[in-house]
Amino acid sequence: MFDKFHEECGVFGIFGHPEAANMTYLGLYALQHRGQEGCGISAADGSKIRTHVGLGLVADVFKDNAIFKRLPGNNAIGHVRYSTAGGNDIKNCQPIAVDYGRGSIAVAHNGNLVNAQEVRNQLEQSGSIFSTTADTEVIIHLLARAQSDSLPDRIAEALNTVRGAYSLVFLTETRLVAVRDPQGFRPLVLGKVDGAFVLASETCALDLIEAEFVREVEPGEMIVIDKEGLHTFRPFEKRPPAFCIFEFVYFARPDSTIFGRQVYAMRKAFGQQLAREHGVEADIVIPIPDSGVPAAIGYAEESGLSFQMGLIRNHYVGRTFIEPQQSIRHFGVKIKLNAIREVLEGKRVVVVDDSVVRGTTSRKIIKMIRNAGAKEIHMRVSSPPTSYPCFYGINTPTRNELISSTHTLDEICRYITADTLGYLSIEGMMKVVGITDGSSGPFCDACFTGKYPVKFPRLKSDDQLGLF
């Protein structure tokens, strides 16, 4: 409903816990913000893999205790997904579990392969069939065709064929494998609880199950966990890291620590830096809740302005919403947010949001604040303009739907009807994450800069990007 980039997935894995499926369920609960369309768990008991997937939230898909009885075993993986194409088909839910020449395997994937279509075409030409539209299915096929003797080698063989972003967990009858792509686009962390190893997209999943954080799975690392313990491999050619900086801006939960940095702290610091770059004479600072809160706190702190909750969010909003038929009003944003006149009336207001994608929601919110009596509205965005689509696991509109790509700052400011508009600069953002040499450091900032760290077949010109 909000005008945001959308995360596509979260993954979780656990090895050596008597209630592996139930612990995975808890882990997915904590990762629910990474995908709300569908979820699933595969559990292995040493000889067989069993899977349950469904459309909807973790709490709904796994609301029946009986499901856990059908998922016995000490090892499990899980997945939450955001459906890219509106097509909320149960077929696309993960983990994907299959039989192949070496037994059974299940996989859960966060990320996106840039050459998936190309590889899929080749696989189809040589006789493979595809039941889903997910690029993850490509990985499974490659794995099934790999000729190497050992599982780690086969996984490496398969993954060396694909390019792009992947944080993966695999489950076999007896092993749990985690792999992060050579550039480490998506986060993946390792933890431990009660002697069991845990893997998760973010540390907030470790926190919920009271697992101790051990370290991040490193870019290009493969971790294989079996009865003997944890084995680490480096099967890929080394490449410069490209951590998705947007995880700090919006995706990750503020209580997580990923890429060696604490998310809430980064967001607050973005807000502080934003205040330094785009200070303005005003009375109050308000966030667009919930995602804009940490940056607004930072902005207020740095600017010395008063932090207030001028917009209240309704958390009971459902998936569908039935508008009056004959109404000339649109309830889209109002159903989620309401402005408090007493806080805003007669005030010069700084509104802090984490990002602006199409600008449509910003326009409606600013109208709402204006109607509540604000005298001036200064829109501040705690990230640079998002001008380029992402090909590494984030669901973004095409280029010409991105308002920053097609309009100037002034035009955007007029469109959203703000008095002034300020975005955080790339340099300011990099400074916050500790990069001061003018480079992107270990980060991927392609959505802001268009500098894509992994090339892909279809990327020949900006025009094509727009059509993609």
| CA nearest neighbour of 33 among 67, 5, 72 | 5
Residue 24 or 273: which CB sits closer to a second copy?
A: 24
* Between 68 and 456, CB nearer to a second copy: 68
Judged by DSSP in three states, 403 sits in helix
Nearest to 264 by CA among 382, 387, 421: 382
List beta partners, residue 284: 306, 349
Complex with a second copy: residue 312 or 409, whichever CB lies closer: 312
Work out the angle at residue 157's Cα, subtended by the Cα atoms of residues 156 and 158, and round it to the nearest 5 degrees: 90
**Beta bridge partners of residue 107, listed in sequence order:** 96, 170
Nearer to a second copy, 317 or 467 (CB): 317
Least Å from the CB of residue 265 to a second copy = 5
Q: Which is nearer to a second copy, 123 or 381 (CB)?
A: 123
Query: In the Cβ-directed half-sphere of 215, how many Cα atoms lie within 13 Å?
Result: 7
- At 77, is the secondary structure helix, strand, or coil? strand
**Integer Cα distance of 416 and 420 in angstroms:** 10
CB of 14 to a second copy, least distance (A): 11
- The sheet carrying 38-44 orders its strands as 49-55, 38-44, 75-81, 9-15, 196-200, 189-193, 212-216
Beta-sheet pairing, 49-55 with 38-44: antiparallel
> Shortest gap between Cβ of 323 and a second copy (angstroms)?
8
Nearer to a second copy, 230 or 265 (CB): 265
Nearest C-alpha neighbor of 300 from the set 385, 382, 375, 420: 382
What type of residue sits at position 84?
T
Smallest distance from the beta carbon of 402 to a second copy, in angstroms? 27
Residue 232 beta carbon to a second copy: minimum distance, rounded to whole angstroms: 26
Question: Which 3 state secondary structure label does DSSP give 99?
Answer: strand
Question: Of 9, 204, 244, 390, which residue is the catalytic one?
Answer: 9
Q: Is 244 a catalytic residue?
A: no
Nearest-Å Rg of the Cα atoms of the chain is 23
Minimum distance, C-beta of residue 216 to a second copy, in the bound complex (Å): 16
Q: Which is nearer to a second copy, 314 or 436 (CB)?
A: 314
Rounded least distance, CB 153 to a second copy, Å: 15
Residue recorded with tokens 């067989």? 48
> Which residue carries 């979820």 as its tokens?
39
CB 165 within 8 A of CB 174: no
Nearest to 162 by CA among 129, 126, 114, 128: 114
Q: Which is nearer to a second copy, 272 or 355 (CB)?
A: 272
Please tell me the distance from the alpha carbon of residue 338 to that of residue 1, in angstroms, as a whole number. 15
Sequence-ordered list of residues with C-beta below 8 angstroms from that of 188, at least 6 positions apart, any chain: 11, 110, 167, 178, 180, 199, 200, 201, 216, 217
Q: Give min distance, CB of 46 to a second copy, in A.
A: 19
Which residues form the catalytic set? Answer: 9
